[in-house]
Amino acid sequence: MQLDATVYVAGHRGLVGSAIWRRLEAAGHTRLIGASSSELDLRDRDATFAFLAEHRPEVVIDAAARVGGILANRDHPTEFLSDNLRIQVNLMDAALDVRTPRLLFLGSSCIYPKYAEQPIRESSLLTGELEPTNDAYAIAKIAGIMQVQAVRRQYGLPWISAMPTNLYGPNDNFDLTSSHVLPALIRRFHDAKVAGAPEVVLWGSGTPRREFLHVDDLADACLHLLETYDEPEPINVGVGEDVTIQELASLVARVVGYEGAIGNDLSKPDGTPRKLLDVSRLQALGWKPTIDLSDGVAATYAWYLEHAV
């Protein structure tokens, strides 16, 4: 990408969008466009078309989405499906209307079947049933992939889609009712330490395995993909290693300094047993992550103490 290209980062104040914005600035990009949800509601089709027509970006990075953890996805599937479909369709239709040359759509590893062979290859898409606790969100993201592929087929534009694994880092959501597992653990162990609670109880058995990528690594991968990748198939973005939820909880407890017990509530769902991405295609393009999980958790906790407590 040219450093003076007009780049619109949709969702630029969120976890992913803010990291991409920081990375673009660090790379020397000078014409970045962002709009908060109060300034532009991407669910509003007319407003989205007007915004893209006004700015006519040369690159669109779609990091805008309604996101949440297992509890939020389970309790609000209607909103997760409807909001994300409208955000994607409006943004991509508007980008197509002004013939945006380059677009990166960011999905999620939850698009893959619940029992996909591990590590999960991109070819596993649509080969089995989804995890029921986040199937509405997954269907929306699958539709986004299909729209990117349809635009490529019909109009020949070099749009691409990438599927990140579980993300964490600065600007994450630490609300206990809507957050993902890692920020939720940071919040819970911090609160337990402050309160002197004797035990923190985890949802489920603690045996499911998950992969975690620092959002700054994802941002770096996004820029790399915009420079090097031009295929219709989505490409996985991850670290290629995973840990159990129990191991993750122990790591967070050490970082936070919580010394109480860690229990398990077996009445709560585990979700997908394992979700590790095959990142061989991304590695073949010359990219690997640089932030170790323990270092990333420590940095994220430091950010939480400074900004969210």
Cα separation, 268 vs 160, whole angstroms: 37
Burial label for 19, CB within 10 Å (0-12, 13-18, 19+), is: buried
User: E strands within the chain?
Assistant: 7-10, 32-33, 59-62, 102-106, 160-164, 166-168, 199-203, 209-210, 212-214, 235-237, 243-244, 261-265, 274-275
DSSP 201-244: EEES-S--EE-EEEHHHHHHHHHHHHHH---SS-EEES-S--EE
Q: Cα 95 from chain centroid?
A: 21
CB of 60 within 8 A of CB of 104? yes
Q: What is the gyration radius of the CA atoms in the chain, in angstroms?
A: 19
Looking at 8, 137, 229, 301, which residue is catalytic? 137
Burial label for 98, CB within 10 Å (0-12, 13-18, 19+), is: middle
Residue (of 272, 290, 292, 288) closest to 118 by Cα position: 272
Number of residues written out for the chain:
309
DSSP-derived pairing of the beta strands 160-164 and 102-106? parallel
Residue (of 27, 68, 31, 1) closest to 9 by Cα position: 31
Residue 8 known to be catalytic: no
Cα separation, 118 vs 243, whole angstroms: 14
So which residues are the catalytic ones? Answer: 137
